[in-house]
Structures are given as structure tokens and as C-alpha cells.
Amino acid sequence: METKVLVAYASKYGATAEIAEKIGEVMRGAGLQVDVSPVKEVKDIKPYGAVVLGTAAYIFKWRKDAVKFLKANEEALSGMPVWLFMSGPAGEGDPVELLEGKVVPEKMKPVLERINPVDLAVFHGVIDFDKMNIIERQMMKMVKSPAGDYRDWNAITNWAKGIAERLKG
């Protein structure tokens, strides 16, 4: 039986949601059965044989609904292949370096050790000051985050193809 894949995401302004949709599209194109959904709308992961979870990251923090999902489903997730991605850093260069290596929040490290994801990818995000409140704008300016869409669609597509190959293999 074909593995059914859940691509769930926690997005604040939509950039992470668009990445999740692209991952789902690539995996469907490879012949997999994929559902793409906001993480807060996922009620049951039992129908799935694999999960891809994406979260936006702001100031080294993951979205609360993604953290809640991982904690609530930790036992089930530890028994299946799981891929994680985060989006957030803006600007030129390696996204992990832009995060100063702070990819996994300290509180989440024990949870991820138990889930043991296949991979954790970090993708560039989008900084759109028009969508942010004044406090967020000030924080982004303080850390000198440049406005713009820095997502690397080739990197995202290739990552999704790799997941599809592994699941179909």
C-alpha cells in the first residue's frame, strides 16, 4: 500500500504555507498521496505513514502550534519517518549560518531526540514589513533583517524530491 504523507505547517504570514504547498506539489508529482494542511487543523495522524512538518521561525522561536503538534504526537511520530523544515532567515548566504546555528530551540531538543527526524531543513523566508506589527518591524530592524522574499525554490523542490525518492524507494 502506498504511504500517505501529511505535510503540515505552522505559518504566520503565509510564506511557510507556500513552501509546504510546494513540497506537497512536488511529492504528488512523484506519485505520492499527500495532504497539505495547517498544523492546527490536523486532528489525527494515524492515516499517515510519514509526516513533513514545517514551521516559521521568528527570533529563534518556532510557532507555538508546531511545537504543540510535535509534543502532542511525539509517540506516534517517533514510529514513522518524519521530516522537519523551518523557514525564517532572510538575506544572502547559508540560512543555518544566518541563524548562528540556532536551528532547534533548546526546549525542543529532547522532543526531537525522541522523534528522531530523518532531516531538518532550514529554508530562507520572507520579510514583509507591511504584514508585521510595529513591534515585529522594530525587532526585525534591530537584528538587521532585510525585507524581501529569499526563498530558494530549487532547494525546496530538491529537498521534497529527496523525500519522495526515499518514501517510494
- Which runs of E-coded beta strand occur in 39-97? 50-58, 61-62, 82-87
When pLDDT is cut at 50, 70 and 90, the band that residue 98 belongs to is low
Tell me what percent of the residues of the chain surpass a pLDDT of 70.
Answer: 95
In order, the DSSP letters of 134-159 are HHHHHHHHHTTPPPEE---HHHHHHH
Residue 9 has pLDDT above 90, yes or no: yes
Tell me what pLDDT residue 31 has: 95
- Mean pLDDT score across all residues of the chain: 89
Range scoring the smallest mean pLDDT among 47-51, 65-69, 104-108, 128-132:
128-132
pTM of the model: 0.90
* Confidence at 29, pLDDT banded by 50, 70, 90: very high
Please say whether the beta carbons of 125 and 16 come within 8 A. yes
Place of cell 529527496: 162
What's the distance, CA 100 to chain centroid?
A: 18
- In this predicted structure, the answer to whether residue 99 has a pLDDT above a threshold of 70 is no
Distance CA 52, CA 145 (A): 27
List domains and CATH numbers for the chain. Answer: 4-168 (3.40.50.360)
The pLDDT of residue 101 is above 60? yes
pLDDT, tens digit, 9 for 90 and up, residues 143-168 = 777 778 889 999 999 999 999 999 99
